[in-house]
Amino acid sequence: MGLITEAKNGRLTEEMKQVAKDEDVEPEFVRRGIASGRIVIPVSPYRRTKPCGIGKGLCTKVNASIGTSSDIVDMEMEIKKAKVAEKTGADTLMELSTGGDFYEIRRRVIDSTELSVGSVPLYQAFIEAIRRYGSAVDMKEDELFRITAEQAKLGTNFMAIHTGINLLTVERLKKQGRFGGLCSRGGAFMTAWMLHNEKENPLFSEFDYLLEIMKEHEVTLSMGNGMRAGAIHDSTDRAQIQELIINSELSDRSHEAGVQTMVEGPGHIPIDEIETNVKLMKRLSGEKPFYMLGPLVTDIAPGYDHIVAAIGASLSSAYGADFICYVTPAEHLALPNVEDVRQGVITARIAAHIGDMIKNDDRQSDLEMGRARRDLKWEKMFELAIDPEQARAVRDSRSPEDEEACTMCGNYCALKIVKQSFNFER
């Protein structure tokens, strides 16, 4: 029996109790959130995972996406990326391989982590079609559903599925045009498939069948944002909003069918459109958990896109986004390596916390850090830091003569001078 049914029947499951404990909220709050669709806990009947609650009233969660590409297939590196993401504090992983043996890579990644793992079945379906028939547009619809069920049976907890692209959305896209096209691989593949075959997206036309698969394997549905703009100049356009409306309608059907559901948001948008995007999505979808992909708030900082996305993600989270996908320094440049993943997770966690300070008034650790700084308690500062290893390494690399201060001001440490004259203890 799925979590929605359990929640609607008034039963508290172990996952609900654990999420309530981790978030310091009442179990009943989590149960009601799941019953109403405002909270999801991606689970799998095929393996035990660390329960991760995503949704209204909970802290913002961070996803780290990993996976091979057609150019670089290094299974050991993917396992290292999965492990470093988990160690650095990612809440979930998405395994998005597009090269090598899909089954083997996903199985090994899933075996290597306690985190919930997500996937995009469309990638595998299209790439297998290219390998088998020579072209993605020759993908067979039943193969897409078969692959979806197979990935679920491996223990996949959630899937990004491009349900909201239909002939109407594509028509809007054609009419309006775009500067930067599409940045969603699934969206690009599916659009090409629909135009070539002059057919409706099977994930839209066979939505009830898709829900049967999701329900049978207890997969959480993450409604993909295939029309998201790949350039700031195309943000919040008609095609994107069309897809959001369709996904919002489908998200109601999905929840009614007992399938936990999230809705995904855009990838490239300027700062002044973030609030609108988050509030519009929340309003249209009836407060379903919102999974924001970044967003990138400028297009001109390749190499630093983890920082650009952290700025967007902190605002998204503050306005109500529940789940953010990290971006690494390699975004739009190369397949991320292990260090890119580490930096991506840390910067996304910083963004999530900045948002939670506003959204959930989560400021206790900042208060404690302020006191530790005032009192020059270095060990306490490291303990409270989001990345203690980095903080310690920087201080140790330039050790001060006076152990109390640091080498920035040395003998003239303002905090030390003030401490001698005032008692600021609060």
Footprint of ligand SF4 (CB under 6 A) = 405-406, 408-409, 413-415
Q: Shortest distance, CB of residue 392 to ligand SF4, whole angstroms? A: 15
Nearer to ligand SF4, 45 or 410 (CB): 410
Nearer to ligand SF4, 1 or 414 (CB): 414
Nearer to ligand SF4, 47 or 416 (CB): 416
Q: Shortest distance, CB of residue 376 to ligand SF4, whole angstroms? A: 6
Among residues 168, 214, 165, 173, the alpha carbon closest in space to that of 193 is found at 165
Cα–Cα distances (Å) from 405 to 163, 255, 384, 408, 420, in that order, read 56, 56, 18, 8, 13
Q: Shortest distance, CB of residue 408 to ligand SF4, whole angstroms? A: 4
Q: Is 327 helix (H, G, I), strand (E, B) or coil?
A: coil
| Token couple for 282 | 């929340």
Nearer to ligand SF4, 200 or 375 (CB): 375
Nearer to ligand SF4, 367 or 408 (CB): 408
When computed from its CA atoms, the radius of gyration of the chain, rounded to whole angstroms, is 23
Q: Shortest distance, CB of residue 413 to ligand SF4, whole angstroms? A: 3
Q: Shortest distance, CB of residue 219 to ligand SF4, whole angstroms? A: 50
3-state SS track over 386-421: CCHHHHHHHHHHCCCCCCCCCCCCHHHCHHHHHHHH
| Residue 227 per-residue DSSP state | T
Distance between CA atoms of 28 and 20, rounded to whole angstroms?
Answer: 8
Q: Shortest distance, CB of residue 415 to ligand SF4, whole angstroms? A: 4
Nearer to ligand SF4, 146 or 419 (CB): 419
Distance between CA atoms of 332 and 114, rounded to whole angstroms?
Answer: 29
Q: Is 238 helix (H, G, I), strand (E, B) or coil?
A: helix
Nearer to ligand SF4, 137 or 406 (CB): 406
Nearer to ligand SF4, 351 or 413 (CB): 413
| Token couple for 90 | 């990612």
| Token couple for 64 | 């780290």
Distance between CA atoms of 315 and 355, rounded to whole angstroms?
Answer: 6
Q: Shortest distance, CB of residue 396 to ligand SF4, whole angstroms? A: 14
Q: Shortest distance, CB of residue 353 to ligand SF4, whole angstroms? A: 22
Among residues 376, 332, 324, the alpha carbon closest in space to that of 89 is found at 324
Q: Shortest distance, CB of residue 16 to ligand SF4, whole angstroms? A: 44
| Residue 93 per-residue DSSP state | E
Nearer to ligand SF4, 107 or 416 (CB): 416
Among residues 25, 33, 290, the alpha carbon closest in space to that of 6 is found at 33
Residue carrying the six token digits 């650790």 = 365
374: amino acid identity, one letter: R
| Token couple for 402 | 């006076």
| Token couple for 263 | 């809705």
